[in-house]
Structure 1
Amino acid sequence: MANRLLPEWHPQDAIQLTWPGPDSDWAAMLERIEATLDAMVVAIGRYQDVVISVPDAATHARLSTRFANLGVAPERLHLIVAAADDTWARDHGPIGVERDGVLALHDYTFTGWGGKFQAELDDSLTSRLHDMGVFACPRINHELVLEGGAIETDGEGTLLTTEACLLNPNRNPQLDRAAMEARLREDFGITRVLWLTNGHLEGDDTDSHIDTLARFCDPATIAFVACDDRDDPHFPALAAMREELEAMRRADGAPYRLIALPWPRACFDPVDGHRLPATYANFLIINAAVLVPTYGDAADSRALAALGEAFPGRDIIPIDCTSVIRQHGSLHCLTMQLPAGSLAAAYTSNT
């Protein structure tokens, strides 16, 4: 029997979100981030279900009314009271893996990106949702520290990741490259690991998550961040990353089709002026659409066009993420896809 890590374009039951509380890191701009999440839920709800962990009963009641007023079909919306530390469902959410066609949700240890932030509630969230009967399939617990934003797969046995994250001693210091690859083969059925040694965004807390830099769009296509400003401090590393991607080959020896995503102008925090990690690579694939982060930048339209080329036949939906990057993430970081067969009958619209 062999495991198979499911690609993001695999059919989905829902997208999982974690709603911020009034005492979270979002406190100073709670209305702004909620407006962004509103737009995401309305967009996703046109295509599939949305499962949202909310911090308390009051938020549950408020959002029930809010999304009814916004026109979200009630059967598509599932609000569950389950407290968390932060909103980054990509990194504390479960990872879907099939074994001989049978789905399981793998629950890895989340430590706040190597101990940078409090993460105890985030780390236990999948377990608590499972115990509440949200999921229809088994949950498999792992002591390995791993975040969903750190890995990309083509669904055919290839995994794309970065050395800076997966080999960082702040995650699993006992594992070298060979041991990490062995673990990925065991858990995910991976036959090849493609490692990027270059690429980083200023303001990124994740130690270069792959979903900020380069993404599979299908088994033959990778969209990646391309910096065309030679005066930007990111230029050398991202140029080197592009060369690495150009040298990579598919399992059959063919080169990848590479789609360059544009470079937005530098974004800075309005309070203290530090640079923020704006990236168009942090898009989200759902059942019949792709949600794309935008930043009120002239490059937004070019990013939407590039991803339209990468995903023919899918709707391309812009989501303003100027608020999201204030906390050093973007659209994909806020979400985790739940593959078809994940959700218990009470938590799916079955459409």
Structure 2
Amino acid sequence: MSFRMPPEWAPHERTWMAWPGPNPTFSNDEELADARAAWASVARAVRRFEPVTMVHGPGQGESARELLGPDVELVERQLDDAWMRDIGPTFVTDGRELAAVDWTFNGWGAQDWARWEHDSEIAREVADLAGVPALSSSLVNEGGAIHVDGEGTVLLTETVQLGAGRNAGWTREQVEAEIHAKLGTTRAIWLPRGLTGDYPPYGFGTLGHVDIVAAFARPGVVVAHSQPDPAHPDHEVSKEIIGLLNAQTDARGRRLEVVEVPAPTVLEADGHWADYSYINHYLCNDGVVLCAFDDPRDETAAGIFRRLFPERTVTLVDARTIFSGGGGIHCITQQQPRV
């Protein structure tokens, strides 16, 4: 049996995270302290449902333990940044054994603010800590750039996997072949781009990660970011993406059902167009950890996710500090499936 990536709603053995350390993303002591508090809030929320292992840089264990409490496992390794979804491995299974895909990581397309000397090695370090083999891939890719339904379908973004900063010279067919080989998928649905705030000149963007735009909630059902306000450029972006998703079928031939999740009411943050999104949530055992923004639409989003996942507890965690660093709750967590 070949390896495949289980969907996020499948049972987890644990969640992996990375502790923020001094780097260009958190450029001063105040920003770093705020980031650590935010990461700790997410870790404690996830820990209610499953074990959490936090990787931290040398000499940072004491600060991590102080904020995380005694229930989060700590391990020390060299780190550059703190986005475990992207720097960590993508776990896959053949139904009996677990393995970890080690994508090539180059700082989200070799962006000038990014550093990745150590982060490019973390996927193998985590695989070793988990006691599973690492499967190398020459494709430049990150965990936030893929989303699977567990039944053969994967969501991708043209500006990520086909972007010149990541995979110059790769054709769409070559990218799909490598993705399918590593994830066990057979059908790729390509979105043209991500949200406006995820691109230059707006901060620490990923150049279009799918996990802030669209995600499978179960086979055949996708949650998608909707920007209701015409004043925001993502109004047109989300309209195009939702229209595209509504016209797609998955690997089993089902027409996708698209559940629109309205963006928060705030239009700007940190001096640019906000890319605040409830799509960047994390499913853990019996729980949904959902981004909150102290916004009137927080409860609207929570209601949508409660209806989608009636058997899970929805926990809202303020994600504004995480978004100011370039991501959300999904971006800082990585599931290890239970075999």
Q: Tell me, yes or no, whether TM beats 0.5.
A: yes
Which letter does structure 2 place at the counterpart of 1:180?
A: V
Which residue identity lines up with residue 63 of structure 1 in the other structure? Answer: A
Please give the alpha-carbon distance, in whole angstroms, between the structure 2 residues aligned to 1:138 and 1:253: 33
Matched-pair contact (CA < 8 Å) for 1:226–1:260: yes
Q: How does 1:47-196 map to 2 (within 5 A)?
A: 47-57=49-59, 59-68=60-69, 72-73=70-71, 77-99=72-94, 101-116=96-111, 117-131=114-128, 134-196=129-191
CA distance in 1, matches of 2:75, 2:216: 31
Shift in Å, 1:65: 4.3
1:36 aligns with 2:53: no
Q: Secondary structure at the match of 1:107?
A: strand
Aligned residues: 330
Q: Given the alignment of the two structures, is residue 301 of structure 1 paired with residue 299 of structure 2, yes or no? A: yes
Alignment map for 1:201-220 (pairs within 5 Å): 201-204=196-199, 205-220=205-220
Structure 1 CA distance, aligned partners of 2:269 and 2:228? 22
Q: Deviations over 1:71-108 (max 9, x none)?
A: x53xxx21011121111111001101123532101111
> 1:8 and 1:47 mapped to 2: Cα distance?
14
CA-CA distance at 1:250 after TM superposition: 3.0
Distance 2:67 2:213 in 1: 34
Instruction: Give the distance between the partners of 2:94 and 2:82, measured in 1 at CA.
Output: 29
Correspondence for 1:232: 232
- Aligned residue identity for 2:9: W
Q: Extract unaligned runs of 5+ from structure 1.
A: 342-351
% identical aligned pairs: 29
* Amino acid of the structure 1 residue aligned with 2:122: L
Measure the CA separation in 2 of the matches of 1:129 and 1:3: 18
1:45 to 44, 47, 69: 47
Amino acid at match of 1:10: A
Which residue identity lines up with residue 63 of structure 2 in the other structure? R
Q: Deviations over 1:171-191 (max 9, x none)?
A: 111310111111122222211
| SS of structure 1 residue aligned to 2:130 | coil
Q: 1:318 deviation in Å?
A: 0.4
Q: CA deviation at 1:203?
A: 3.9
Shift of 1:127: 2.3
**Offset at 1:326?**
1.1
Task: Please report how far the alpha carbon of residue 260 of structure 1 lies from its aligned counterpart in structure 2 after TM superposition.
Answer: 0.8
Secondary structure of 2:37 counterpart: helix
TM (norm. structure 1) is: 0.89
In 1, are the aligned partners of 2:15 and 2:51 still within 8 Å (CA)?
Answer: yes
Distance, in Å, in 2 between the alignment partners of 1:182 and 1:268 is: 39
Unmatched runs of 5 consecutive residues or more in structure 2:
200-204
What is the CA-CA distance between 1:38 and the residue it aligns to? Answer: 1.9
**Could you tell me which residue of structure 2 aligns to residue 345 of structure 1?**
none
Moved more, 26-35 or 205-214: 26-35
CA deviation after TM superposition for structure 1 residue 336, in Å? 0.9
For the 8 Å contact 1:198–1:240, the answer to whether it is kept is no
Could you say what the CA RMSD is over the residues aligned between the two structures, in angstroms? 1.8
The verdict on how the C-alpha distance between 1:267 and 1:34 changes in structure 2, with shifts beyond 3 A counting, is farther
Deviation at 1:135, TM superposition (A): 1.3
Residues in 1 aligned to 2:127 and 2:240: alpha-carbon distance in whole angstroms = 42
Distance 1:253 1:105 in 2: 29
Q: 1:199 to 1:167 in 2, by over 3 A?
A: same
SS in 1 for 2:124: helix
Write out per-residue CA displacement over residues 295-315 of structure 1, whole angstroms, 9 at most, x where no aligned residue: 111111111111111212100
Pair 1:250 & 2:247 matched: no
Q: In the TM superposition, what is the alpha-carbon distance from 1:269 to its structure 2 partner?
A: 4.3
Give the Cα–Cα distance (whole angstroms) in 1 for the partners of residues 123 and 5 of structure 2. 18
| Paired AA for residue 64 in structure 1 | R
Moved more, 80-89 or 227-236: 227-236
Q: Which amino acid aligns with 2:335?
A: Q
Secondary structure of the 1:171 match is: helix
1:211-259 Cα offsets, whole Å, 9 max, x none, are 0100001112110001111222221121111110110123443322221
Judged with a 3 Å threshold, the aligned counterparts in structure 2 of structure 1 residues 230 and 268 are, in CA distance, closer, same or farther, namely: closer
> 2-side partners of 1:251 and 1:86: how far apart?
35
- Residue identity opposite 1:60 in structure 2: G
Alignment pair present for 1:310 and 2:318: no
SS at match of 2:302: helix
For residues 185 and 67 of structure 1, do their structure 2 counterparts lie closer, same or farther at Cα, with a shift above 3 Å needed?
closer
User: In 1, are the aligned partners of 2:160 and 2:209 still within 8 Å (CA)?
Assistant: yes
**Deviation readout 1:121-140 (Å, 9 max, x if unpaired):** 11111223445xx1122122
What amino acid does structure 2 have at the position aligned with 1:43? A
